[in-house]
Amino acid sequence: DVKVTQSSRYLVKRTGEKVFLECVQDMDHENMFWYRQDPGLGLRLIYFSYDVKMKEKGDIPEGYSVSREKKERFSLILESASTNQTSMYLCASRLRNEQYFGPGTRLTVT
């Protein structure tokens, strides 16, 4: 079974803090993705990565950066958290055309 884990299920951070969201997959997948999910807006792609040290902007990259130093780990970074980044963050890894999601991190920025 594919397993994608995310470092935290719930996070509460203050405006201006630097936030790290970690994602790990154990299936040696090359492609990994970060999405955010908001009511009424659905799933939106923030960044993705095809391989170690490679990254591509998704549809809403502003205010975010990513890091992929190892194949199994893909990190999402909020350089200076803002209240409009309060959301459910979902990581996924891809095999063929199938994306497998982690359990999500619900981030609240106050």
Partner 1 sequence: GQQLNQSPQSMFIQEGEDVSMNCTSSSIFNTWLWYKQEPGEGPVLLIALYKAGELTSNGRLTAQFGITRKDSFLNISASIPSDVGIYFCAGHARMDSSYKLIFGSGTRLLVRP
Binding site for partner 1 (CB under 8 A): 4, 9, 42-43, 45, 48, 56, 90, 96-104, 106
Measured distance CA(5)–CA(24) in Å, rounded? 5
Q: Minimum Å distance from CB 45 to partner 1?
A: 7
Phi, psi of 65 (to 5 degrees): -140, 170
Q: Among residues 4 and 76, whose Cβ is nearest to partner 1?
A: 4
- Write the CA distances from 103 to 17, 45, 63, 79, 98, integer angstroms: 23, 16, 23, 23, 16
Q: Minimum Å distance from CB 43 to partner 1?
A: 5
Q: Among residues 11 and 100, whose Cβ is nearest to partner 1?
A: 100
